[in-house]
Amino acid sequence: MKNFRKTLACLAALTLVMASLAGCGSSEDKSSAASSSVSSASEDKSSASAEMSNGDRIIAAAQEGKVGNWGLGNEYEILALLTKYNQEPKYLSQSFDMDGFDDDSITLASAMTYNELGLVVNDYEGGYGYGDTVGIIDMNDEGVAMLEDNLFCTKSFAAENPNTVKAFVYASMQGWKYACEHPDEAAEIVYEAGSSVSSDHQAYMASEVKKLVETDTKGNAVSDYGKMDEEAMQQTLDLAKKYISLDDSSAAEKLQTLTLDDIRDTSYWEAAMSKDFDTPEKSDVSVQLKWLPQCQFMGYYVAKAKGYYDEVGLNVNIVSGGGDIGETTAVNNGTVDFGVTWVSNLISANAGGMELLEIAQVYQRSGLVLVYKK
- pLDDT digits over 234-273, tens only? 999 999 999 999 999 999 999 999 999 999 999 999 999 9
Per-residue CA distances from 145 to 46, 122, 139, 218, 265 (Å): 29, 25, 5, 10, 21
pLDDT at 203: 97
Q: What SS3 class is residue 270?
A: helix
pLDDT at 43: 52
The whole-angstrom separation of Cα 371 and Cα 69 is 11
Name which of 119, 138, 205 is nearest 367 in CA terms: 138
Regions of the chain where pLDDT drops below 70? 1-50
Q: What SS3 class is residue 24?
A: coil
The whole-angstrom separation of Cα 206 and Cα 306 is 17
228 within 8 A of 336, measured Cβ to Cβ: no
Neighbours of 93 (CB within 10 A): 11
118 within 8 A of 98, measured Cβ to Cβ: no
- pLDDT digits over 185-214, tens only? 999 999 999 988 899 999 999 999 999 999
Name which of 103, 99, 76, 71 is nearest 89 in CA terms: 76
pLDDT at 196: 81
pLDDT at 16: 31
The whole-angstrom separation of Cα 198 and Cα 26 is 52
The whole-angstrom separation of Cα 147 and Cα 243 is 15
Name which of 278, 272, 250 is nearest 338 in CA terms: 272
pLDDT at 2: 41
